[in-house]
Structure 1
Amino acid sequence: MTFTWIRSFCAATVLLCLSTLIISSSAVIYDQYSDLPLGKEYNFVIAGGGTAGLALASRLSENSAFNVLVLEAATSSIGVFNITVPYFSTRNMLQYDWNLTTTVQSGLGDRWLFFPRRFILGGSSSINGMFYTRSSVDDFNRFAGVTGDDGWSWDNIQQYLALNERLVSPAGNPNTAGEFDPDVHYIGGAVDVSLPSFSQNIDSKVLDAAHKLGGVYSYNEDVNSGMPLGLGRRSSSVTAYLSDESRDNLDVLVNARVARVVPTKNRNTTAGYSFRTVDFTQNITDGTFIQVTASKEVIICGGAVGSPQILLNSGIGNSTALSAAGITPLIDLPSVGQNLSDQPFIANAFLANTSNTYDDINRNDTVLKEALTEWLGEDRLPGVFRGAGPLGDTFANQISYYRVSEELTGHYGDFSAGVTSPHLEIYPGNGYFLTPPTTGYYLSMTTVVVSPASRGSITVNDSNPFTPPLIDPGYLTVDFDVAAMKEAFKILYTFLNASVWDDYILEPPVGLPSIPDFFTMNSTQLDAQLESYVCNSTSSLAHPVGTVAMSAKNASYGVLDPDLKVKGVDGLRVVDASAFPFVTCSHTQVPVYVFVERAAEIIKASWQ
């Protein structure tokens, strides 16, 4: 069996978003609206205290002349121990999730999926997998091209990466020579970023396989250079951007669920409607709403689900669909809620001939206690540094990116941003992803389509602003995505067929052939088996974007101008992953921070 790839590089070391200190919040966090300072006027009201919202609030409040209020639906994350432990990102903490589901997905055999969106201060940055990946040169250059604003280009966003990243040493200061390129990183930003601190059992095998296979599997020293082909405590937007310097001009109100934005009375504007007032509640059962008005802007930071939901409930969207849902249309913007893009993934668990995995941490309380003692460090285990052991890292120490074959792109088209952008991501995990079975030890090889062609939507079907929206990601509804995921398995099996894995893998995941059978099966039979497995096993990587996408200033489509203002209205912006016109080829946390850093600069400049 022979495959041809345009370009790909494998087995780069993962960088993690972390924080080496517990940082107290600079904001005052309030539980009740009545506790807010009496008579205080807010210049900016931010709807959503997640990854984007808190970072933006921090940057805006650097100007002492600005008073900023953040409205967050969930409770505070301050002092929640489980979310500070990096490895616990492998656990389903449903008490901190919106517990949303998708509509039935025709591309997934008419299955519906759990759709992770985090319900806690800091949002997904408080619970995600912590991967620090910037995406590619072409991703940001495509943003610039689509919007007509060169400020979104790769070269021009470097200043915002510098504001975001603070590269620090891993816990224990291990030798990291050759594992990253220091010349492409920054040391003065807000978010602590580090290489993994704990070597996993499979690390040497992964790197040995890459070196032995060479070619498309060759080692890429740093996937964050813009060419991605080829501890400590978690760092969230809470720990990174709410510093220990007290600011009395930044308030955060938790348990405050935003329903809509409403036109501000007596506001003269040439744009038509001015939206500077927010309706929210602290009790969704009693039907009472509180209004707060920003003197300058309301900024929605609700994410790819929450932001379009707020806009639609405000009468901003497709007028016909809004009327059908019982909502009075105010601004006809048909693109609101459309263009939903998410990265489909499969966590493929191979039964392994070892007991040196992380599986017992997630199913054996004694093993977990030992790992926690090691991670807590010197006060619990003399002579052992804080952040030591397996709990100091996330579930993968390496990450690899690939472009698919020219045959595939020639047949279906190329849906990546360009030649520097991969279509696929594969990363190994030393154990079963999430909760393992009661017996057995596993090697997880996660496959992801990072540049998918499929698109979906976020819609509402009634006038209750707190009814969960209809989430239809449209997974695998474009043939390219199915073909790309199948090609990921051809890449994966070739990698696992390297001699370093001999006698290590005992059984494949249910539904996949053994490694020897993969290379001897009839091609038609193999293709059918892979297609069935992909259809029945694909889930969400939880990287949804695009539902309030920006476009060029005078474009007839899109929701936001390149400065992230909502088209055709005054006083309203959206700053979060919903603004991305396309999903980046990376995990989305770092691109969100880049958007925030540039948005903060744009907003500050507009109100000087």
Structure 2
Amino acid sequence: MNMGADADTFDYVIVGAGSAGCLLANRLSRDSSKRVLLIEAGRKDNHPWIHIPVGYLYCIGNPRTDWLYKTEPEAGLNGRSLRYPRGKTLGGCSSINGMIYMRGQSRDYDGWAAQTGDRAWSWENALPDFKAHEDHYRLDAGADPATGDNSRFSDMHGHGGEWRIEKQRLKWDILESFTEAAVQAGVPRSPDFNSGDNEGVGYFEVNQKAGWRWNTSKAFLRPIRDRRNLSIWTEAEVDKLIVETGQDGRKRCIGLSLYRRNQRVSVRARGEVILSAGAIGSPQILQFSGIGPAATLKAADIAVAHHLPGVGQNLQDHLQIRAVFKVRNAKTLNTLANSLFGKAMIGLEYALKRSGPMSMSPSQLGAFTRSDPGQAHANLEYHVQPLSLDAFGEPLHTVPAFTASVCNLNPTSRGSVNVRSNRRGEAPAIAPNYLSTDEDRKIAADSIRQIRTIVSQPALAKYQPIEWKPGIEFQSDSELAKLAGDIANTIFHPVGTARMGRNEDEMTVVDSRLRVRGIDGLRVVDASVMPTITSGNTSAPTMMIAEKAAHWIICDAQSHA
């Protein structure tokens, strides 16, 4: 495509205003001499349910805030297709996610360093980039003295940054008892899930501020809305990247075309185009632009601009197995929220105190454990909730119950994201390929057994828990693996579809500094670059990636000046 002389020109063009894109826009626009454009396909984050923590229930599955993706029917899930939420608004997934602040484990980042050959990704070198934007409540002046000596905590966490982290504003007796049961089953208490080793049980810390959701639009864009060198375009959907081949044979991304207010326009990038559209959006844009596996592109009737076989491959996600237990003599959200009086009290508490169930993240209590003693590290993550339902977005059950969900932190199953055709607006084929390996099926069965062990401890006996799902009658590995396929659901952590790696690996999409192989002026900065999934929720690692990338982008621009 020939870019006309009227194409608007920027130094940096960032595609996607989510967890990575908002941070990048903030950092790259600090230099007033650089003109920055941030492009978001969704609308502004002024939908009220974005900001009330429990509003994720009304944002997921809502075309106002969600791309409404679905997976292909999954063999490992016994033919089921899952809803696959992805944020479509300023703030991206940080506007609809579970708000849990979780870095993962130090070994995740040391593993990235080994896979890429670049020590910049080690835990030691990632930690400063986590801390750079943190504003942790435990380091506030006059913080709760119950936290004890914070000197070691300050070595691990930051204060005064844009990204607010707070404790949850609620307490449930059933969760306190589950904590005690986990300890009785041999799980240690954890004072901090984010110190590099998250093994243990405790309450999740959340990205909230005074009882409101804290998304990346509030954190990184609102404070700089007066910067004249930053343009933010919403309801602007990228059509394709524009790649030119120079006389020396080198390819360069010089800009992109997009649809804004139903008109096709072009923008030029003097410096770089940066894809931050996420693990689904970034590979989709690359493939629509003719960058990806040649066979996939040809099958979709897309001209091959650059054969890069790893684009859209290596999809990894956390699959959550939801075990539900009926209880007696327990206060749960099921009974509280299924009466008009209960709903009124919930609303009143939030209106007056910004606390209670309306301030809840989807999961309140967490635990990281080993599926069997032979595991070298915690390889399971629990999300425990004082409620039960068939799936998020569905009504709460009417009987008192709690849910203990568990996921395999390090799945060996690998899937893909591939365009179906060259038609703009058609969703890609998302095939996570869950439970496709013997190891993943074995860990799924072992994790259900471990849930049963914890729930059988004396601390929960007063509630007389009865396993409702999957059902105690299922005991063998094959039965439990099949049952996992029947009841498991995504925990919304897709990564890896434009993975970084060594240049000699043909499946590498970006180098260790996140530059697309074989195309100058193009970088990918989001969860898609992770070579392996982190041992926990993926929002915080994505922001660390963006923090690191911003530094490299600025340094590269200075070296070429």
Q: Is the 8 A contact 1:363 1:436 kept in 2?
A: no
- Asked if residue 97 in structure 1 is aligned to residue 58 in structure 2, the reply is no
- Asked if residue 548 in structure 1 is aligned to residue 481 in structure 2, the reply is no
Deviates more, 1:55-64 or 1:204-213: 204-213
Q: Is the 8 A contact 1:179 1:221 kept in 2?
A: no
The amino acid of 1:236's aligned partner reads N
2:207 equivalent in structure 1: none
Q: Is the 8 A contact 1:395 1:430 kept in 2?
A: no
- Asked if residue 590 in structure 1 is aligned to residue 540 in structure 2, the reply is yes
1:20-419 equivalences in 2 (<5 Å): 41-78=9-46, 80-91=47-58, 93-95=60-62, 96-168=65-137, 176-177=146-147, 182-183=153-154, 184-213=156-185, 215=186, 217-230=187-200, 231-245=210-224, 246-264=226-244, 268=246, 270=248, 272-282=250-260, 288-354=263-329, 356-360=331-335, 363-364=338-339, 366-377=341-352, 386-405=353-372, 419=376
Q: Distance in 2 between matches of 1:243 and 1:471?
A: 33
Question: What TM-score, normalized to structure 2?
Answer: 0.90
- Asked if residue 444 in structure 1 is aligned to residue 403 in structure 2, the reply is yes
Q: Distance in 2 between matches of 1:68 and 1:112?
A: 39
| Cα drift, residue 169 of structure 1 | 5.5
Unaligned runs of 5+ in 1: 1-37, 378-385, 410-418, 519-524
1:535 equivalent in structure 2: 485
Q: Is the 8 A contact 2:8 2:268 kept in 1?
A: no
| Cα drift, residue 42 of structure 1 | 1.3
1:454 equivalent in structure 2: 413
| Cα drift, residue 461 of structure 1 | 2.3
| Cα drift, residue 360 of structure 1 | 5.0
* 1:223 match: secondary structure: coil
Q: Distance in 1 between matches of 2:57 and 2:162?
A: 25
CA offsets per residue over residues 490-548 of structure 1, 9 Å max, x none? 211111111111141443224311xxx78xxxxxx543432231121111111000000
The amino acid of 2:164's aligned partner reads D
Structure 1 residues 253 and 316, CA, compared in 2 at 3 Å: closer, same or farther?
same
Q: Distance in 2 between matches of 1:426 and 1:193?
A: 20
Q: Is the 8 A contact 1:71 1:253 kept in 2?
A: yes
From 438, 441, 451, give the equivalent of 1:479. 438
| Cα drift, residue 586 of structure 1 | 1.0
Q: Distance in 1 between matches of 2:249 and 2:500?
A: 18
Question: What TM-score, normalized to structure 1?
Answer: 0.83
1:522 equivalent in structure 2: none
Deviates more, 1:577-586 or 1:185-194: 185-194
Q: Distance in 1 between matches of 2:469 and 2:544?
A: 40
Q: Percent identity?
A: 30
* 2:315 match: secondary structure: coil
2:3 equivalent in structure 1: none
CA offsets per residue over residues 152-201 of structure 1, 9 Å max, x none? 11001111011121102699976653699734221132200012122122
Unaligned runs of 5+ in 2: 1-5, 201-209
Q: Is the 8 A contact 1:269 1:570 kept in 2?
A: no
Q: Distance in 1 between matches of 2:56 and 2:488?
A: 20
Q: Distance in 2 between matches of 1:346 and 1:89?
A: 20
The amino acid of 1:164's aligned partner reads H
How many equivalent residue pairs?
535
CA offsets per residue over residues 452-477 of structure 1, 9 Å max, x none? 00000011121113211011000001
Q: Is the 8 A contact 2:119 2:125 kept in 1?
A: yes
Q: Is the 8 A contact 2:442 2:477 kept in 1?
A: no
Q: Distance in 2 between matches of 1:234 and 1:496?
A: 31
Q: Distance in 2 between matches of 1:509 and 1:301?
A: 41
The amino acid of 1:431's aligned partner reads L
| Cα drift, residue 211 of structure 1 | 3.7
The amino acid of 1:426's aligned partner reads Y
Q: Distance in 1 between matches of 2:464 and 2:21?
A: 44
The amino acid of 1:272's aligned partner reads R
Q: Distance in 2 between matches of 1:208 and 1:506?
A: 15
The amino acid of 1:507's aligned partner reads I
Query: Alignment RMSD, CA only?
Result: 2.5
| Cα drift, residue 236 of structure 1 | 1.1
| Cα drift, residue 145 of structure 1 | 0.9
* 1:104 match: secondary structure: coil
1:599 equivalent in structure 2: 549
Q: Distance in 2 between matches of 1:155 and 1:594?
A: 13
* 1:157 match: secondary structure: helix
CA offsets per residue over residues 322-379 of structure 1, 9 Å max, x none? 12211000111011000001111122221221452223565445433432332233xx
| Cα drift, residue 396 of structure 1 | 3.1
Structure 1 residues 223 and 437, CA, compared in 2 at 3 Å: closer, same or farther?
closer
* 1:277 match: secondary structure: strand
| Cα drift, residue 437 of structure 1 | 4.1
The amino acid of 1:470's aligned partner reads A
Q: Distance in 2 between matches of 1:305 and 1:564?
A: 17
